[in-house]
Amino acid sequence: MTKGLSFSDLFVFFAYIVIVASYGFWIYNKKKKKTADTKDFFLAEGSLAWWAIGASLIASNISAEQFIGMSGDGFFVGVAVSVYEWFAAIALVIIAVWFMPIYLKNKIFTMPQFLKTRYNESVALIMTVFWLFLYIFVNLTSILYLGSVAINGLLGGQYLHLIMIVLMLFALVITLGGMKVIGYTDVIQVAVLIIGGLATTYLALTIVSDKFGSGGSAISGFLDLMKQAPEHFHLIQPKPTLTTTTIDQPENLDIQKYIILPGILMYLGGQWVLHLNYWGCNQYITQRALGADLKTARTGILFAAFLKLLMPVIVMLPGIAAFVLYKNGHLPEMGQGSKDGAYSAILGFLPSGLKGLSLAALTAAIVASLAGKANSISTIFTLDIFKKYIDKDASEKKLVWTGRLAIAASMMVAVIFTWSDSLGIGGEGGFTFIQKYTGFISPGVFATFILGMFWKRTTGTAALVGIIAGLLLSILFNNYAVLLFGKETLLYTAFEYQKLDHGVVKTITEIPFLINIGWAFFFTVLIMIAVSLAGPKVNEKAFIFEKGMFKLEPRSIIMIVAAWMILAALYIRFW
């Protein structure tokens, strides 16, 4: 692909940009009278349809780290990496049924507001500051950097800084129009993402079929993948029999795969914490639904769950296709078989026109994520810091303009820190960089939210202790547990393996990350319960549940049952 974009490629790509920008401008002008309303600007209150909410959730979630990182893990591990998408569908069902009624009944518009309402000002302020730093210096920077690197690689590797600026400006234009513009342009972004992604997958499968002489169809190509790489079609990774290996042992790769996806054990804690925290306690995600009524919000979230079931076909399957082609000598340009080059290698096979569509799909994923993250930063800063502590009497118009300035400032900071990769995102890898820093705080934050929602005795002191304990326990398990307690305990097994890093063999001793998260969450909950038991039997700020609050409409029940049946069929087939 890097050897030249044809006129048809450029036409398709620029047509995508013009359509998205024009539609966003039309939406903005149509609702221009409301742009001075903070609830409309930050939440698009009452104006996003269920399909717009669902599409926006997916557009904000899928970015370059999925296209590049998950496709790379598909190359390395196979279908097992789909757990990150399929388990998200389960989490979205839980959020729709149990979390949203609590948020909407209590008129929660931001996550810091939830913490203040349920606990106290101190808990809310601590997490507000943390979330702002996390969103700007981890999420926004990594999305911009990894997206720029991915597109730059597809265009020949000479335009990194120009691409950064273009992506930033494109996302900035969309974000300044407010959540309504983001929500409805995300519908186009998701359509482009899905159409372009499916086209890439379809072509990848037909190429595999053609190379193996089985007819040249996508179905025969998929069957070829299952024949050529049967080990890539198991959802559960078996626990390695060895705990120490060298780079020349075949078991060494088994350990590396298990470290990423530790079999059935990851379902006992880590996956639940990561997904429920990300989808249910994250301003960046929940913001799309917080401005709607319960019926619309629920339907939109459940629609997103169905879209999530489709995502592995788009972001994982091309990676398996790349593995099979590489293993059989059809992808010599991949060199030593670096998994991060899998998606780009597949794109190199695409004909003119489809290259432009695939580039548009990747750009759509990046821009939608940048816009969603910047809007969340703006919402938290304006409503939870500026309005509360800087200018309590600010007018609606002033708050909206403060939000726009916060958007522009956060984008500029992201560009500055990604310009020369001063944060070292490239060295760790974008997906690893995000997981490393968000994973440390997830156990404490999720414990604080889940106990605050469903246990009336949880106190503000317990919340403060839980946030700190979750962080410290995560650091303990990830960095010091092996040194202090050894490689084999009742709680975990640490594995020692070797891997190549820029041509140098490195020995690593590691506990699977998802197991660490599970135990950090478990002990954080125990600590919070112990602290809360020292307080009153019912916290005066506890949420009150009304009769029928969690009752589901027939449409929601049908959607949930259908999603669970699809998931059950997938796990039965690929266990």
Give every CB contact of residue 515 below 8 A, 6+ residues apart in sequence.
262, 265, 266, 269, 270, 492
Tokens of 191: 């359509």
- Measured CA to CA, the distance from residue 177 to residue 28 in angstroms comes to 6
* Domain assignment of residue 6, yes or no: no
Take residue 567 and report the two structure tokens written for it: 């998931």
Task: Tell whether 204 is covered by a domain.
Answer: yes
What range defines the domain where residue 141 resides? 48-574
Decide if 36 is inside a domain. no
Query: Coil, strand, or helix at residue 504?
Result: strand
Tell me if 31 is assigned to some domain.
no
14 within some domain: no
d(C-alpha 379, C-alpha 387), whole Å: 11
Q: How far is CA 38 from CA 98, 131, 320, 387, in A?
A: 27, 20, 46, 11
CA distance 118 to 367: 34
Q: Is residue 25 part of a domain?
A: no
N-terminal to C-terminal alpha carbon distance within the chain: 35
Q: Is residue 148 part of a domain?
A: yes
Q: What's the whole-model pTM score?
A: 0.85
Buried b (16+ CB within 10 A) or exposed e, 260-273: bbbbebbeebbbbb
pLDDT at site 57: 84
Domain count within the chain: 1
CATH classification at residue 532: 1.20.1730.10
Nearest to 263 by CA among 52, 9, 80, 54: 80
SS3 571: helix
pLDDT of 2: 42
10-residue block means of pLDDT along the chain (575 residues)?
A: 66 82 74 58 68 82 74 83 88 93 88 90 88 86 82 74 86 75 74 82 87 82 89 87 85 84 82 88 80 88 91 87 84 63 74 78 80 85 87 84 89 88 66 70 92 93 94 92 91 87 79 90 96 88 85 90 91 86
- Would residue 10 count as lying in a domain? no
